[in-house]
Amino acid sequence: MRVLVEQFRPGVMERLDLGHETLAALNPRLVYCSITGFGQDGPYKDRAGYDFIIQGMGGFMSITGERDDLPGGGPQKAGVAVSDLMTGMYSAVAILAAIAQRSRTGLGQRIDMALLDTLVAMLANMNTNYLVSGAAPGRAGNAHANIVPYQVFAAADGHVIVAVGNDGQYARFCEVAGRSDLATDPRFVRNADRVRNRAVLIPLLEQAVQQHPVGFWTAQLERAGIPCGPINSIAQALADPQIVARGLRVDLPHPLAGSVSLVGTPIRMSASAPALERAPPTLGQHTDEVLRELAGMDAETLAELRKRQII
């Protein structure tokens, strides 16, 4: 870091070239990560990449959304920028791996991360389904392609997710729903039977679930050992007793707003727990501090950088 930033000093700042080879020459230990839409090579390397476009190009939207033959059918993007977020996560892992490698070799390296690469890689089992079968997976809405019932049901006052994982859980689900007859019906006894007869079974279960509120189902199914959960709004999620107990919502002092509410880190570590002490900084709040303490720049250098609108 010091070898690199010393090139900013007055009189030599114009010599700084941000090419990887030059940076490596200035500081061979430098770990340098770039994040672009399509990467540093390939026919799309010069294209602008936005998460929405990447979700479409990478195949994600082809498996997200309701089936085309049902109301509301068609491809859907995720509610958050998944390729942006996941590329950041992969990049953090890559940087840490490069630092670990540097501890053995003494050399840094360039990391080339692309949103499209990450989006394709994160399709996980869907990629495998295609590579093994040769048939591209399609959209199934909130249902599971291979397990029934494993989907969202409309309750009397909202929606509940029921994730029946085996035949025993199915039988208990039918009992809670007051439809024990569906557990012994030969069309539905085994999961393979339920998958084949999904169109017959699901409307019957939907009628039963609609008779009670979400709270009834989550309490009764949990008591019966059947995985389930409500579909919460963000407000409901942040007020959920489990989220509150885990301390995900935090309030921190802020120089302009007085106090700001934020979502904390999900990382839990026994020996070095992350400390949340400061709110996100205002624009440029710590620029001088960072350059003085980490880069060793003096007041004259900082003034020159500011005069030249570099900072």
Place of tokens 């029946």: 164
Instruction: State the distance between the two ends of the chain, measured CA to CA, in whole angstroms.
Output: 17
Residue burial 171-192, b: 16+ Cβ < 10 Å; e: rest: bbbbebbeeeebbebeebeebe
Q: How far apart are CA 282 and CA 291, in angstroms?
A: 16
Closest-CA residue to 154 (of 200, 60, 217)? 217
Number of H helices and number of E strands within the chain? 15, 7
Catalytic residue among 84, 167, 185, 288: 84
**Catalytic status, residue 46:** no
**For residue 75, what are the contacts with CB-CB under 8 A and spacing of at least 6?**
56, 61, 62, 64, 65, 139
Q: How far apart are CA 140 and CA 261, in angstroms?
A: 37
R_g of the chain, CA atoms, integer Å: 27
Measured in whole angstroms, the distance separating CA 214 from the mean position of its chain's CA atoms is: 27
Residues designated as active site = 84
